[in-house]
Amino acid sequence: MKRVAIVFALAAITLELTAGGMYAAAAGFAPGLSVDPSKLIAAGASGAALIHWGSLIDMAGYLCIAPVVLYLRARYASARYGDLLAVAGLALVVIGSIGAAAMATAAPPLITAYATASTASKQALLPAFATLYRVVVLGLWQTLETIPATVWLLGTAVAARRNGPRSVFVTLLVIGLITGAIALYRLAVAA
């Protein structure tokens, strides 16, 4: 079971990094947590393909997290609030996957239509794309998913600190703190 969890964890990391690279390429490697939607919608056919395939890869990456959540739940079965932590981890998987599926299906057609649209049509497509982008990237991925992800990562890190290898504790702690910082940033910016 441990080897299977490690394989899924490595697959999730690899897939998420690949998807992130594809998203970055579609956005012209713009720095920051998010990009201007008007820049992304103007990415053309190649950008649409990068967003489509990047989103499908992203979805697969999220789904690979589920076996890791279940393994860590079983591994630290005596942990306080273990079931709640597992639910938080699975919420991360569900929220992230929904966002990735939405981007894979809705963003590429809007980007493709924008490339050949008239000026008036572009003015209509941009707000639709910007709304999709804000709902998925800012709302789902960088706000809603980061809250249960932080709970799962930091809570499981505490359990691993008591009963597990130090490397698992440190990994979960570092990723949890980064995710928590993103959650706090997005919540502060939205306020």
Domain-wise residue ranges, the chain:
2-190
Q: What is the pLDDT of residues 4-27, one digit of tens each?
A: 999 999 999 999 999 999 999 998
- With 90 as the cut, is the pLDDT of residue 175 above it? yes
State percent of the chain over pLDDT 90: 76
Predicted local confidence at residue 28, as pLDDT: 86
Q: What is the mean pLDDT of residues 134-144?
A: 92
Q: Is the pLDDT of residue 72 over 70?
A: yes
State residue 162's pLDDT score.
Answer: 82
Token pair of 137, please?
């990237």
Mean pLDDT across the chain: 92
Q: Give residue 190's pLDDT band: very low, low, confident or very high (50, 70, 90).
A: low
- Provide the pLDDT for residue 167: 87
Residue 78 predicted with pLDDT over 90 = no
Kindly state the average pLDDT of the residues 107-119.
Answer: 95
